[in-house]
Structure 1
Amino acid sequence: MELQPIPNETRPSLPVTPGEASARSLDVHVNDNCETYDSDSQVASRSRSGNASRVRARVHLAAMFLSMFLGGWNDASSGPLIPRMQKVYNVSFLVVSLTFVLSCIGFISGAIMNVHWTDKLGFGRMIVLGALLQIVGYSIQAPAPPFPLFVMSFIFNGFGIAIQNAQANAYVASLKHNSELYMGMLHASYGAGALSSPLAATQFAQLQHWSFHYLVSLGLALSNTIVLTLVFRGRTQDECMALVGEEAPGGETSTSERSNFRQILSLKSVHVMALFILVYVGVEVTIGGWITTYIIDVRGGGPSAGYISSGFFGGLMVGRVALLWLNKLVGERRVLYIYAVLAIGMEFVVWFVPSLIGGAVAVSLVGLVLGPIYPIVMNQAGRVVPRWLLSGSIGWIAGFGQAGSALLPFMTGAIASKTGIKALQPLLISMMAMFPILWALVPSSPRRI
């Protein structure tokens, strides 16, 4: 008789001791707990990573807000100081306007070199380079050197601001989340700097050492350079985007082969927007730079008329944040036409209503409606320009457009030297009339290249 093994299904089950049952139960619970712990740890890890990215994003934005604050501070300094410069150096409207010409040279040079150097140096190094150049400019201006050297120093300021402006605008326009909000806040920071600067410059303009205003500017420039260095640490824009949880666009890298000057210059939309920004910034800085002289000479204002310039830039700052809801409600493309018409209307009030207080209020309202225009144009660039060309294109638009802050104020000074500063208002209105014409030429959708 041959013995056969008992199949498992018919094999009698042995009784399980209490110790074995406890061990099996414990093993099941341990496995379940391990799976739960792994899942919870992954969620916690993602949460910590998301929180860290948000904190880094806020730090990055705060650093760029400081950079733009200093840009506004620089552009609004000249208005209250121009009458004092004329007295100290004994120069005419035309000669003192050379400060704007040299700034223009710096802006255009910075815009051109920004496109070439960004591919080689990267975002982090370029924005710090721009900040360092401002330190050089203010260091020369602070001791009030002879007029030729004083004027030449404005090249460094223009070059540095053009680079920082281009890099900050390109960074914010590349964000996939809330870029319109952050663009408005970025340029509100510019407005805050432009609001603050005339308040300080008006006080310094009445002191013996008027040029010590540039010592304050130098301190701000040093702080700006330190902050930008510590925050960005020489990283490229793609590396910074990765740190804040923003993915670089796949297949659309900003290499020197694709994001080059020739491709950017082939885009008609880039040229139209650059021309628009040139006229817009020219109007903005011309008002801030010459309105004090206009109020003193034409309306009989006193030295405190410099505060009217602060009112204009205060309106500019408020408009870039307070009118975001209106931009969204009406649509950015349509609302710009409304802002242009309102600005022209307020400028007619400044021209024809012979009231010091009425003119001051109208100037502030002009700033309010002009404020949102610059961020709207930058947002439009982010929509119509291919992403792999966005950084260089916005750099060119912002940098070339910034030349308007020198070109139009110089034209104003040249005309005023022959006809008087009363020519300011018709010149501004004619420039504002170009806004709707140029805006109509900007495409509303991306174009293939």
Structure 2
Amino acid sequence: MRCRHLRPPFPVFVFSFVINGVGIAIQDAQANGYVACLKHSPEIKMGLLHGAYGAGALASPLVATQFAQLRHWSFHYLASLGVAILNTALLTFVFRLKTQDECLASVGEAAGETSTSEHSTFRQILSTKTVHLIAFFILIYVGVEVTIGGWIVTYIIDVRGGGSSSGYVSAGFFGGLMTGRITLFWLNEKIGERRVLYLYSILAIGLELIVWLVPSLIGDAIAVSIVGVLLGPIYPITMNYTGRVLPRWLLTGSIGWIAGFGQAGSAVFPFITGAIASKTGIKALQPLLISMMSFMIVLWALIPGIPRRAD
């Protein structure tokens, strides 16, 4: 009873997540913008940055599952608070509240080009077609990523007859996501970031066809993990590519705009999937994912292939 009285109203709970989302979005834009501005091995560093995301996405559901089995499951939020405090302390210690140009200068990176336009940075971002094409691409990509991670467990249970351990299929997907981001950078460099993304997308579509058409619980679990490996490098590839086709003074703001579309995709497409599944069943998951991945390829083809920056 005592814990029940300590619970805040539900609107406060929702508002706290809004604040949390704003903070994560700002950090996402700043981290990607900073790494994309680096001139020495940005591909590897971007892969490691997003590999850390994959590691967190792998560990989080495993930890949350343990808390869910406890009487006071809400203690999970104390763990999240501890991670947030540690993150804030590390960011303050490493960057010491400096601007991005000051941080780049401290590691020997030149500030680079500056804007000569009379228009504001925000107006320049909104008037750049490439930014919007990449934003819509990331919208679809993150939608695919989160939809697989969230709904594949339901698919495995309802369609393939999986048991209580079906949650590990989602963990395998995020584990593959992390692995792909920290191990496939050599293939990205060998084939070329623009071409290799087509390769990853086509292979992922082929594996989703296997998950859809081959009634094998173990086979589907393996295929989903490999899909994670293939989809993993796409986000860092896109961020690196953004750093090449956009001028540096627009980069961090543009990445913030692009990442914001990605967060929208993480909310919209799982919701759409749930709405469709409530009408036709969760079997609709695989054709929906294949359609989204195919649209990703179309959007990537529309993004300009000639860099606008020489550095």
Q: What is the TM-score with the length of structure 1 in the denominator?
A: 0.64
Residue of 11, 19, 27 corresponding to 1:164: 27
Structure 1 pair 415–287 and aligned structure 2 pair: CA distance change class (3 A) = same
> Superposition RMSD on alpha carbons, in Å?
2.0
Matches within 5 A, 1:143-292: 147-250=10-113, 252=114, 260-292=121-153
2:179 counterpart letter in structure 1:
V
Question: Which 4+ stretches in 1 moved above 6 angstroms?
Answer: none
How far, CA to CA, are the matches of 1:240 and 1:215 in structure 2? 32
Out of 238, 253, 256, the position equivalent to 1:395 is: 256
Query: What are the superposed Cα offsets for residues 280-313 of structure 1, whole Å, 9 maximum, x if unpaired?
Result: 0111011111222222222222332212111101
User: What is residue 3 of structure 2 aligned with on the other side?
Assistant: none
Match status 1:440 vs 2:301? yes
Give the CA deviation at 1:421.
Answer: 2.3
Match of 2:154 in 1: 293
Distance in 2, Cα, partners of 1:421 & 1:215: 34
Greater relative contact order, per chain length (Cα 8 Å cut-off, separation 6+): 2
Residue 224 (structure 2) aligns with: 363
Question: In terms of mean alpha carbon deviation, does 400-409 or 263-272 score higher?
Answer: 400-409
Deviations 1:44-91 (A, max 9, x none): xxxxxxxxxxxxxxxxxxxxxxxxxxxxxxxxxxxxxxxxxxxxxxxx
Identity across the alignment (%): 72
Is the aligned partner of 1:304 residue 2:189?
A: no
Alpha-carbon shift at residue 204 of structure 1 (Å): 2.6
Q: Secondary structure at the residue paired with 1:388? A: helix
Residue 112 of structure 2 aligns to a residue whose secondary structure is coil
1:391-430 alignment to 2 at 5 Å? 391-430=252-291
Instruction: Give the aligned residue type for 2:300.
Output: W
Map of 2:208 onto structure 1: 347
8 Å Cα contact 1:144-1:150 kept in structure 2:
no
Change (3 A) 1:230 1:258: farther
What is the match of residue 192 of structure 2?
A: 331
Contact 1:197/1:310, CA 8 A, preserved across alignment: no
Q: Which amino acid aligns with 1:162?
A: A
Counterpart contact for 1:313–1:367, Cα < 8 Å:
yes
Distance 1:144 1:332, change over 3 A: farther
The secondary structure found in structure 2 opposite 1:153 is helix
TM-score scaled to structure 2, two decimals? Answer: 0.91
Going from structure 1 to structure 2, the CA distance change for 1:202 and 1:434 (only over 3 Å counts) comes to same
Larger Rg, first or second structure (1 or 2): 1
Distance 2:234 2:36 in 1: 15
Task: Determine if contact 2:138/2:262 at 8 Å carries over to the other structure.
Answer: yes
Pick closer, same or farther for the CA change 1:144–1:200 going to 2, 3 Å. farther
Taking a change above 3 Å as real, the CA distance of residues 195 and 323 of structure 1, as seen in their structure-2 partners, is: same
Query: In structure 2, what residue type is equivalent to 1:228?
Result: L
Q: Gaps spanning 5+ residues in structure 2: where? A: 1-5
SS at match of 1:380: helix
Deviations 1:196-250 (A, max 9, x none): 1121122233333333322222211111111112221211001111111111015
Cα separation, partners in 2 of 1:283 and 1:272, compared to 1, 3 Å = same
Q: Is this contact kept in 2: 1:347–1:429, CA < 8 A?
A: yes
Q: Residue 416 of structure 1: CA displacement?
A: 2.1
Report how many residues are paired. 304
8 Å contact kept, 2:244–2:308? no
CA distance in structure 1 between the aligned counterparts of 2:72 and 2:157, rounded to whole angstroms = 22
Give the Cα–Cα distance (whole angstroms) in 1 for the partners of residues 268 and 191 of structure 2.
33
Give me the whole-angstrom Cα distance separating, in 2, the residues matched to 1:281 and 1:155: 19
Aligned-partner Cα distance in 1 for 2:12–2:257 = 28
SS at match of 1:287: helix
